[in-house]
Amino acid sequence: MARSLFMGILGLLISGCATQRLAGADLDSVQRPAFISRIEDGAGPRSMVFRDDDSYGGKLKKLEPKEADRRLVVKLQRAVTRFEISERLRVNTLTQLPREAPWTQTVDPAQVASSLESFLVEEVPANAPDYELLSPLGADTIVEFVIQGYGMRSKGGHAGAFVEGYGRMFSLSGRSEVWRRPFHVDQVAAGAPHLDPFKVGKDPELFRLAVTAMLDEVAATFVKDLTPKDRHGSAPKAAPARLEGNGPDSVHVTGRQAAPPKPAEPELPAGELPAPDP
């Protein structure tokens, strides 16, 4: 239930952005769409936690905020790859679209990747590709998803994940856009539970779970946008349920000692953040 409430708030944040709605007549004219998903260069992962929020100063002690953010970025990179983020948005959108034209006539994603010379492993195109390369595949329309930023941020000691970008659809001939949906999903702005950056440092899976849940919500919004009700096609089917997991908590116990002189605090291991609070 907590997840449902949280994702509902995120949905409001997505819907708050200016959009260009897809008309049924425009979708009816599409014959063979090709899906592209990419991440802009420098989009992330980013950490705007320790430099932008001095609430963690006491916890960091001698560790500089800039260095703490750099170490957190390394942890975020290990949590989820650029390819996983890009592909999850594309696949979750495409698989939830109704089994009707034009979605049953999409260009094979392997052919799209081959034509654009991108790889179905780690490499994700950062810059806008040459869309004309898809014309020989019979594509007449491009559906493109672009991630412009993702990572973690914090305000007032409350941290969370964020992801932002846009989706759009345009004709290959003429490049006229018939749909555009910007999105900015932010756990901090949504009032979601605190995503402890120190716990993420110990268990980066917590960040992956947060980001993938947000991408799934964006995909669900894209599906609604791409199934306008004012067309002549059949009504869309219900989207399949998605599974979510829960990340483990870290537990830290301390005791209290009176006097003697306080021993020197151990140095942090190279590349590590301080341990999370209990």
Q: In this predicted structure, what is the pLDDT of residue 158?
A: 97
Rg (CA), the chain: 22
Cα→Cα distances 132→45, 142, 259, Å: 30, 10, 74
Across 132-138, average pLDDT:
95
Lowest mean pLDDT among 12-21, 132-141, 173-182, 234-243: 234-243
3-state secondary structure of 69: helix
Across 73-96, average pLDDT:
94
- How many other CB atoms sit within 10 Å of the CB of residue 36? 23
Q: How many helices (H) and strands (E) does the chain have?
A: 9, 5
CA 75 from centroid of its chain's CA atoms? 16
DSSP 8-state class, residue 159? E
CA distance 169 to 20: 10
Report the predicted TM-score, pTM, of the whole model to 2 decimal places.
Answer: 0.79
Contact 92, 226 (CB under 8 A): no
Q: Using N-to-C axis directions, what is the helix angle for 205-225 and 65-79, rounded to 10°?
A: 60
Token match 């914090």: residue?
A: 154
Contact 148, 183 (CB under 8 A): no
Q: What is the pLDDT of residues 207-236, one digit of tens each?
A: 999 999 999 999 999 999 999 999 875 444
Q: In this predicted structure, what is the pLDDT of residue 160?
A: 98
CA distance 219 to 90: 8
Residue 88 has pLDDT above 90, yes or no: yes
Residue 26 has pLDDT above 70, yes or no: yes
Contact 98, 237 (CB under 8 A): yes
Q: What is the pLDDT of residues 49-65, one digit of tens each?
A: 999 999 999 999 899 99
